[in-house]
A = this chain, B = another copy of it.
Amino acid sequence: MKNKKMPDFKHLLKDSRDLAQSTLLEELSPTSRLRQVIEYHYSASGSEARGSLCISASLALGLNSKVAIYLSAAVETLHNASLIQDDFQDQDEFRRGQLSVWKKFGSDIAINTTDLLIANAFALAASAAPNSANNLISTMKRAIAVTLQGQTNDLNIDQNLSIDDAILIAKEKSGPFFSLSLELPLVVAGQGEFLDVARQAGASFGIGYQIFDDLHDFDQDKNNGKLSNLSVLSDRTSTKETAEDLALYFLNDAATNAAALPNGCGSLLREKCSKLLSELNREAA
Contacts and interface: CB of A to CB of B under 8 A. Distances in A.
A34 B149 contact: yes
Nearest to A116: B148
Interface stretch (A55-63, A127-135, A218-226, A252-260): A127-135
Interface string A130-159: 100110011011101110110111011000
Interface residues on A, range: 35 or more
B149 A115 contact: no
A118 interface: yes
Interface in A96-125: 106, 108-109, 111-112, 114-116, 118-120, 122-123
Contacts of A64: none
B148 A112 contact: yes
A28 interface: yes
Interface of A, helix, strand, loop or mixed by DSSP: helix
A32 interface: yes
Given A116-B148, A119-B122, A127-B134, 8 more contacts: A34-B148, A34-B149, A89-B111, A106-B155, A115-B148, A118-B119, A120-B145, A126-B137
16 contacts: A26-B142, A29-B149, A33-B153, A88-B111, A109-B155, A111-B114, A112-B152, A112-B155, A115-B115, A115-B118, A115-B144, A116-B148, A119-B141, A123-B141, A126-B137, A130-B134
Interface of A: 26-29, 32-34, 81, 85, 88-89, 106, 108-109, 111-112, 114-116, 118-120, 122-123, 126-127, 130, 133-134, 137-138, 140-142, 144-146, 148-149, 151-153, 155-156
